[in-house]
């Protein structure tokens, strides 16, 4: 079954899942989330598939949530907002629970929920010029997608705070030096390297790999599960806030946000 904004390509040794929403820099959509969920289930059911590779179309991994959709969420009641957030949390849980390794191939950048998705993957290959940003705060929002758990596990506390509180992007080489990602390539070569890793995995022992992933994931699953649950209420509240209204409107209007005015009442 085709999914909007998602292409699933069967390479025999692995599945390639392409986030295909380039007009919005591959912002996450329900169609892509449904497609990736199906690909993960297919990989789990077919031992011939050694890995799932996730990438974005036209040179950009994922800009995060669709801000126009998030702006519309302000008019939803809280149960509806929570349901929308929980859909992303379930997707991240599916990435963690898939018995096959999931590899992110990052070109351009991974921001917001795109960063959450990338860091939930088992392996991350990024172009040298790729930027990683926990940009939620710039829109008056708080992290979701388990990002608070992923960053706590992968980065020193000071850098995690810098990413989340200041919204500053971090370049791929810096994350490589910290061990938060696995490889850096020339621009345009991240997918080739990620697919080479997937092919290598497909020629390894499937049961042993699945057990290894389960053990490695289990070591951080309690943290991730707790954060996936803990993030829902603050994000649902943030989506309905005046800060989010200002931050999202400023971004869509291509102007500087004025959060200071809100502090002054």
Please report where in the chains the tokens 């890995």 appear, as a residue.
Answer: 51
The angle that helices 78-97 and 206-230 make with each other, rounded to 10 degrees, is: 160
Q: What Rg, from alpha-carbon coordinates, does the chain have? A: 18
Q: pLDDT tens digit string along 213-227?
A: 999 998 888 889 999
Residue range 205-209: average pLDDT? Answer: 98
- Across 24-41, b (16+ Cβ under 10 Å) vs e yields bbbbbbebbbbbbbbbbe
Percent of the chain with pLDDT over 70: 99
CATH assignment of the domain containing 128: 3.90.226.10
Q: Is residue 147 part of a domain?
A: yes
Q: Is residue 61 part of a domain?
A: yes
Q: Is residue 92 part of a domain?
A: yes
Please report where in the chains the tokens 């986030």 appear, as a residue.
Answer: 19
Confidence of residue 190 (pLDDT cuts 50, 70, 90): very high
Q: Is residue 229 part of a domain?
A: no
What SS3 string covers 205-259?
A: CHHHHHHHHHHHHHHHHHHHHHHHHHCHHHHHHHHCCHHHHHHHHHHHCCCCCCH
Q: Report yes or no: 202 and 48 within 8 Å, Cβ to Cβ.
A: yes
In this structure, the strands spanning 51-56 and 109-111 are: unpaired
Complete DSSP assignment for 56-111 = EGGG--B--B-HHHHHHGGGS-HHHHHHHHHHHHHHHHHHHH-SS-EEEEE-SEEE
Q: Is residue 214 part of a domain?
A: no
Domain count, the chain: 1
Q: Is residue 244 part of a domain?
A: no
CA 265 to chain centre: 34
Task: Extract long-range pairs of 5-12: CB within 8 Å, 24+ residues apart.
Answer: 5/29, 5/31, 5/32, 5/35, 6/31, 6/32, 6/34, 6/35, 6/36, 7/35, 7/57, 8/35, 8/38, 8/39, 11/195, 11/198, 11/199, 12/48
Q: Is residue 183 part of a domain?
A: yes
Confidence of residue 241 (pLDDT cuts 50, 70, 90): very high
In this structure, the strands spanning 170-171 and 131-133 are: antiparallel
Q: Report yes or no: 132 and 109 within 8 Å, Cβ to Cβ.
A: yes
Q: Is residue 265 part of a domain?
A: no
Range of the domain at 36: 6-187+199-207
Residue range 180-190: average pLDDT? Answer: 99
Q: pLDDT tens digit string along 59-85?
A: 999 999 988 888 788 888 999 999 999
Q: pLDDT tens digit string along 3-50?
A: 999 999 999 999 999 999 999 999 999 999 999 999 999 999 999 999
């Amino acid at each position: 079954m085709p999914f909007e904004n998602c292409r699933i390509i069967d390479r025999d040794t692995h599945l390639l899942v392409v986030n295909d929403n380039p007009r919005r820099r591959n912002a996450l959509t329900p169609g892509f989330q449904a497609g990736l969920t199906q690909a993960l289930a297919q990989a789990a059911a077919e031992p011939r598939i050694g890995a799932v590779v996730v990438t974005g179309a036209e040179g950009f991994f994922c800009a995060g949530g669709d801000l126009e959709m998030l702006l519309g969420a302000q008019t939803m009641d809280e149960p509806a907002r929570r349901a929308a957030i929980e859909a992303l949390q379930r997707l991240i849980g599916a990435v963690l629970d898939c018995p096959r390794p999931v590899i992110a191939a990052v070109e351009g950048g991974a921001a917001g929920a795109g960063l959450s998705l990338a860091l939930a993957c088992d392996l991350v290959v990024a172009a040298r010029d790729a930027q990683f940003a926990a940009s939620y705060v710039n829109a008056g929002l708080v992290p979701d997608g388990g990002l608070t758990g992923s960053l706590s596990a992968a980065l020193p506390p000071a850098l995690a705070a810098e990413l989340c509180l200041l919204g500053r992007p971090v370049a791929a080489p810096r994350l490589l030096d910290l061990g938060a990602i696995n490889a850096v390539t020339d621009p345009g070569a991240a997918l080739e390297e990620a697919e080479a890793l997937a092919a290598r995995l497909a020629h390894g022992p499937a049961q042993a790999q699945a057990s290894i992933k389960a053990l490695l994931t289990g070591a951080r699953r309690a943290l991730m599960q707790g954060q996936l649950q803990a993030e829902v209420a603050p994000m649902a509240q943030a989506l309905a806030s005046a800060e989010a209204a200002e931050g999202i409107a400023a971004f869509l209007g291509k102007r500087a946000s004025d959060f200071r005015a809100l502090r002054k009442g």
